[in-house]
Structure 1
């Protein structure tokens, strides 16, 4: 599998360790940076190029790292076609792919340790989108939001009182 990685200074060390682990597992890894540790860098400068490459199909999946994973997730989800999520547990790592076709896993280096990060990445990379009708329907609604002006998009078809 062709996997893209990106991190700012906060996720740099975790990314470097993940890069080696993924290459050792036989994956082709594309590093979108940072390539040197610089305490003044900004996560969008690395995460957005990864997200754009993912949306274009240049990589199959992506992993993005920052201190909390929140900023990486926010930045990545601004790119149409990217379905990024901040993940801390193995259930969400596979369920996000199986049900929501998640294609970018975001991790916080100050939240999860290296061993858990590697486990989450393995689970994420092994997971396959189920393609179920209800999941495709939901993803179509999400995709419609990417094309809609702010505030517009799909309206709920069911209401709960």
Structure 2
């Protein structure tokens, strides 16, 4: 299951992503928001990040105006590797190398077609592990130190 969330700046793109996921038969849970009325993005980033961190959702997708705020907020939750992506190469690389578990997109900076290509690539690319696992372990140690 994919956890979805957005603020007002990402609402329209989130709705397009939902249509794409429906066509692909991919299950999702929509954490909101559900309109273009102004809201505070950290609330939605936290809900999606907690869903992914707790393993309720396999992955998450967050959308705000630029994707920056969502990525900053989501990465505050331990175990989250949220990646702000705006091109297809990075979508593939962040899954293969970083095992990113939340995709962040900018609803005001990406066209719908490119955004949906990024979503498709990101969802269908596997983590390759190998020497990248050492780097993820290093990141985990940074998180562990920060908790103390």
Short-chain TM bin: over 0.9
**Residue 85 of structure 1: aligned partner:** 83
Note if contact 1:72-1:106 (Cα within 8 Å) is conserved in structure 2.
yes
Note if contact 1:52-1:79 (Cα within 8 Å) is conserved in structure 2.
yes
- Kindly report structure 1 stretches of 4+ aligned residues shifted beyond 2 Å: none
Higher relative contact order (CA 8 A, sep 6+): 2
In structure 2, distance between residues paired with 1:149 and 1:97: 24
**Residue 6 of structure 1: aligned partner:** 5
Offset of residue 36 of structure 1? 2.8
In structure 2, distance between residues paired with 1:26 and 1:45: 27
**Residue 121 of structure 2: aligned partner:** 123
Note if contact 1:32-1:47 (Cα within 8 Å) is conserved in structure 2.
no
| Residues 18-46 of structure 1 deviation map (CA, whole Å, 9 limit, x = unaligned) | 1111111100011011023322x011111
1:137 counterpart = 2:137? no
Q: CA RMSD in A?
A: 1.3
In structure 2, distance between residues paired with 1:29 and 1:77: 21
Gaps of 5+ in 1: 153-161
Q: Which structure has the bigger radius of gyration?
A: 1
In structure 2, distance between residues paired with 1:35 and 1:47: 14
Give the alignment's TM-score, normalised by structure 1. Answer: 0.88
- Secondary structure of 1:149's partner? helix
| Residues 112-159 of structure 1 deviation map (CA, whole Å, 9 limit, x = unaligned) | 111111000000000000011x21110000011111138x9xxxxxxx
Give 1:112's match in structure 2, choosing from 96, 110, 113: 110
Greater fraction helix: 2
Aligned residue-pair number:
148
Give the alignment's TM-score, normalised by structure 2. Answer: 0.96
Gaps of 5+ in 2: none
Offset of residue 77 of structure 1? 0.4
**Residue 34 of structure 2: aligned partner:** 35
